[in-house]
Chains A and B, each alone.
Chain A
């Protein structure tokens, strides 16, 4: 079905960025406008989800060029769900940055760049063209470069060098992959590629191209041998930036893998085995890394890697039940990881440090706040009614069904290690008897903030905790949504049919 307005989430973020650029130095106006635009984006995304749920996949051919010649924007359930979840996370971060971001960073265009970043994310989720996906990826990484270096502290610059160089390399590999695909099939539309790639005789070359995509998206989503840039750079920018990075950036890589491996490559045995080994090693590598660190943001950074591994489980098995787990986990992880980095940002704001050896006694001084922070921490582990739990059942079930016992063991071990790590963080930061930490001269502490500043940091956590409680307790709805998405991924024929409309398949 055609609907010209499905690009509205992208346009809205662009409008937000352009409007905010005109208010370059007026930071108060920027804060208010950014929150207003983010709320509007959530509403638009929710409307779009309802629309797609009721009337099926919606498309628009930009410039009125028929597919496969023009760039098609496709709003299928997977894309739209991620648009909604990412705009909720972005709303949280937008409010959180209003309270926690320093003035001098806001004056260098933090908010416009932030909206460009979110625009890139929404574009990547909605596009149906592989080269356009590359363009959105570039929009994302160039905005993330700016956000990462904004402020120019020593550690930030050092982390940024690693982040920038590896991302540039990944983009080059992605582009090589696109070049091969175009050379092989003569088309860039993903639905059209899906049909034409099956007619290629030279399976080896298709697999090499698939490998290039795996490496390119793998660097971006930090899977096993390519994750070292993430813990080296993610803790360096301010907490609000880390929250949006940790919550959303690596997940775009996972989304791109889901899309390309469901539509273009897939069903190849060598690839399946490789991805399953990578998934197991990613889970364990991330968890062991997290165990060996004491800095809260670094621990959470390694946990991102470990949980990317969980999502790779679904991509490697590629049955409906395992994909159901991946989709569910993706939705849960975006919300919870964003929330988690806000928690570590708030801890930093309260105590002036993130070293868990020095921290302590938070439960005694802020009991209610600690309970709020417990929600994302224990959702991440997946204590039964909370949101992380349901997805893991599907992973184990899917892996058992496929007979891949390596994955079963690593998923269970990975969850167990996550529990151990979160337990350690909880006892060290919240239950242990606190010491008086030396105050840093230049920082503004949480106690000294005006009430509105305090609320702007606590409210987004409340919002995201509420969402993650909903995912956990109202799992029925999320599971039926994920079920439908997983069915569409396993059998993409309806996607292809809608995109290519009047074409003979």
Chain B
């Protein structure tokens, strides 16, 4: 798959897809979307890139091993889960910060949890996909 059209379009699609995945992540609380969908979309962007430029190029671009994103994401999700304990609330209770911010919307533990899911999904999907590609 080394056609010039595909390569050129993949180069421009990567940032667009990443942006779209972040958009999906942020709108997820009240509307369709969320961490899982956003994460899948971001992972797809990297997979598309790896199809166009080869696995090595993509790995070089990501710098960190995608597996490292999993504990980071889990850490965020965990923090979102236990943060309510500080306020004597049950586990996983949604805490919200005052007014909605521009572009981002309401900020709270639910968003933190979604960001965690986002990273875990990117990490696990890329790990699985890369290891399948390496075997084949």
Contacts and interface: CB of A to CB of B under 8 A. Distances in A.
A63 B94 CA distance: 6
Contact of A64 (B75, B81, B90): B90
Contact of A73 (B70, B71, B89, B91): B91
Given A18-B78, A63-B93, A64-B90, A5 B85 contact: yes
Contact of B90 (A2, A15, A17, A21): A2
Interface string B72-90: 0011001001101100111
B107 interface: no
Q: Which interface class (under 10, 10 to 19, 20 to 34, 35 or more) fits A?
A: 10 to 19
A270 interface: no
B78 A14 contact: yes
B49 to A, nearest CB: 25
A501 B70 CA distance: 38
Contact of B75 (A2, A5, A7, A18): A18
A5 to B, nearest CB: 7
Given A22-B71, A63-B94, A4 B89 contact: yes
Interface in B66-119: 67, 70-71, 74-75, 78, 81-82, 84-85, 88-94
B71 A18 contact: yes
Contacts of A4: 84-85, 88-91
A292 B61 CA distance: 57
A18 B91 contact: no
A18 B74 contact: yes
A62 interface: yes
Given A14-B78, A15-B78, A63 B85 contact: no
Contact of A21 (B71, B93, B94): B71
Prevailing SS type, chain A contact patch: helix
A11 interface: yes
Contacts of A14: 74, 78
Contacts of A60: 90-91
A61 B90 contact: yes
Contact of A63 (B70, B74, B75, B92): B92
Contacts of A21: 70-71, 74
B82 A11 contact: yes
A61 B71 CA distance: 26
A73 B91 CA distance: 10
A11 B81 contact: yes
Nearest to B81: A11
Interface of B: 67, 70-71, 74-75, 78, 81-82, 84-85, 88-94
13 contacts: A7-B91, A11-B78, A11-B81, A11-B91, A18-B71, A21-B71, A61-B90, A62-B91, A62-B92, A63-B91, A63-B94, A64-B84, A73-B91
Given A14-B78, A21-B70, 14 more contacts: A4-B88, A4-B90, A4-B91, A5-B85, A11-B81, A14-B74, A18-B74, A21-B74, A22-B71, A60-B91, A61-B90, A62-B91, A62-B93, A64-B90
